[in-house]
Amino acid sequence: MLGDSYPAAVRRFQQMEKRFFIDDHLRKSYSEFMEEYERLGHIELSPVASRSPQFSFTSMPSSVQRVRPQKYHIQPALFATIINFRLPRFAISADAEKMFRQMWVHPDDRKFQQILWRNNPSEPNRKYQLKTVTYGLASSPFHAARVLNQLATDEGHRFPLAVPVIRKGTYVDDVLRSTKSGGFVFRKWASNCKTVLSQVPEELWETSADLELDRSQAVKTLGLLWFPHQHDVFKIKVPALPELEVVTKRIVVSEMSQLFDPLGLLGPVVVSAKMFIQSPWAAHISWESELAKEAAVWWKKYRANIKELIPLQVPKRVLWNKDTERQYSVHCFCDASQKGFGCCVYIVSLDEYGQLHSHLLTSKSRVAPLRGKLIPRLELRAALLGSQLVHCIRTDTNITGPITFWTDSTIALHCIKSRSNSWKVFVSNRVAEIQRLTKDAQWMHVPTDLNPADHISRGLLASQIIYDKLWWHGPEYLTFPANVSDFDAE
């Protein structure tokens, strides 16, 4: 049923060999990689010629190129995993290193994992069968997540506290708040608690034993830089952009994608770039055409301003009560403008001294459509986006606190609190969805100058956002002493 892919595999392998003539480093990397696999016994020559599915070896070895996995529903979304990581006071990260090399394929199924290889073009093509689960494929993240989920099922009765960690604290083979069983060796351990690390052999640490002395060392956690011993904060990995003479649409799109922000902590900065690229995109400018002088000047200013993010520190921890994590509330702010619309979510928690703290948790943004830029409709779309984001948080993370939604649009607020079938189709559909997603929450009005989502609907430069208290902590009234009564005195 799968057909015969051997001819296609031959063509793809021949294309790879042409690249080897150009790039000798690439050829050596592939050869060393295959030699290692043979030495470890992870591949074997196919016993007989068959017409079962074959594929050429096209994934780069990890020494040449890091393969980024795709998202699968069996594993939580990346942003949900990081949000769960920010909730507890003490945190752990680890990596199930070489997991795929420990996952063996049944001999009857190895015929479905065949590759072609030869050391040089003068040799005949050799057919190999992979004996272990292959990494670097589109399905590889599923394999890793599926094995870890099965591990939680098989060993959950022995380690009940580890089950939610595997279910919601794992992304591919990176484990946040981890335990060990099933034969996998977890490496690259890091924690903001020295007691935890003292239970792990030093050779399995992410960094050396001098980490406590050199507090500048960072731990890479799912694309973020985590400094567990330097105030327990995240820092943004700012891309090093080269000098630029000509600005084209291709360059802009390429550079704006290099600022990795899975939680939307830099939402106003990222959406500024999205708003900027909308005009040349709508004008159907080709990828290699130089942008207008005014647009080129703006982009050069924007990319130079990105360096202002280097000293930025974002607290990993967003809950502040050391005894219970239930004394907190969730606040989602929504806003729209002619340029775009978006929402941002804050966690307000009570510490052991009775003081309230508010921290940005995540945000989402959208660029306004080229047509139909009616502000009331955009405000309603912003409210819907906020409803969807909070629903996703409540579904995929461990956050269960009471929720309040805020908007500075009295029109949107009136629509949301009215019957959905009293409006025309566009408004009626969105109001009905908002009411369904937020039936257990309340909607409130916030003045425009106190609405942090105003930043994400209009955009900011990096130098403007880095010290903006409204963006990072929300309006001050969230932490007024009068709000302490809203929490249960447990």
Q: What is the pLDDT of residues 316-336, one digit of tens each?
A: 888 876 544 457 899 999 999
Q: Considering only 236-240, 370-374, 461-465, which range has the smallest mean pLDDT?
A: 370-374
Sheet holding 356-367, edge to edge: 356-367, 340-350, 328-336, 403-407, 442-445
Average pLDDT, the chain: 80
pLDDT given at position 210: 36
Residue 382: partners with Cβ closer than 8 Å, 6 or more residues away:
334, 335, 336, 341, 342, 343, 407, 412, 453, 457
Percent of the chain with pLDDT over 90: 36
Evaluate whether residue 398 is within a structural domain.
yes
Neighbours of 487 (CB within 10 A): 19
pLDDT bucket at 444, cuts 50 / 70 / 90: very high
Output 474 or 131, whichever has higher pLDDT: 474
pLDDT bucket at 399, cuts 50 / 70 / 90: confident
Evaluate whether residue 225 is within a structural domain.
no
Taking residues 94-105, what's their average pLDDT? 62
Task: Please report, for residues 85, 93, 168, 392, 470, the alpha-carbon distance to residue 165 in angstroms, rounded to integers and kept in the order given.
Answer: 10, 11, 5, 18, 33
pLDDT given at position 224: 75
pLDDT given at position 187: 59
Evaluate whether residue 61 is within a structural domain.
yes
pLDDT given at position 192: 64
Q: What is the pLDDT of residues 152-190, one digit of tens each?
A: 787 777 877 777 766 665 554 455 444 444 455 565 666
Question: At which of 137, 161, 183 does a domain end?
Answer: 137
325: containing domain: 314-486
Evaluate whether residue 249 is within a structural domain.
no
Evaluate whether residue 323 is within a structural domain.
yes
Output 383 or 284, whichever has higher pLDDT: 383
**63, pLDDT greater than 60:** no
Q: Considering only 208-212, 247-251, 455-459, 481-485, which range has the smallest mean pLDDT?
A: 208-212
Taking residues 420-447, what's their average pLDDT? 94
Evaluate whether residue 265 is within a structural domain.
no
Evaluate whether residue 391 is within a structural domain.
yes
Vertex 174 angle, CA 170 and 178, to 5°: 65
pLDDT given at position 75: 46
pLDDT given at position 490: 38
Split into its structural domains, the chain has a count of: 2
Evaluate whether residue 290 is within a structural domain.
no
Neighbours of 293 (CB within 10 A): 9
State pTM to two decimals. Answer: 0.71
**33, pLDDT greater than 70:** yes
Q: What is the CATH number of the domain that holds 412?
A: 3.30.420.10
Token pair 């939402």 in the structure block, residue: 267
